Amino acid sequence: MMAISHTIVSATIGNEISNPAVSFGIAFVGHFICDYFLHWNFYPHKHKPIALYALIDVALGLFASFLLLGPNFWHISVLSAIVGGLLPDVISFSAYFLKIRIPYFSKFHDGIQRETELFWKGIISQVIVIGIAIATIYLY
Backbone angles phi, psi at 46, to 5 degrees: -115, -35
Looking at residue 50, its pLDDT comes to: 80
Distances (CA, A) of 85 to 2, 33, 74, 99, 110: 11, 11, 16, 23, 16
What's the pLDDT tens digit per position in 28-66? Answer: 999 999 999 999 888 777 778 888 999 999 999 999 999
Cross-strand bridge partners of residue 115: 39
pLDDT at 79: 98
pLDDT higher than threshold 90 for residue 5: yes
Output the DSSP codes for 43-96: -TTTSSSHHHHHHHHHHHHHHHHHHHHGGGGGSHHHHHHHHHHHHHHHHHHHHH
Q: Give the pLDDT confidence of 58-94 residue by residue, as tens digits.
A: 999 999 999 999 999 999 999 999 999 999 999 988 8
Q: What is the pTM of this model?
A: 0.91
Rg over CA atoms, the chain: 15
Task: Read off the DSSP letter of residue 25.
Answer: H
| Range scoring the smallest mean pLDDT among 13-22, 81-90, 110-119 | 110-119
Quick: pLDDT tens for 89-114: 999 888 888 888 888 998 899 899 99
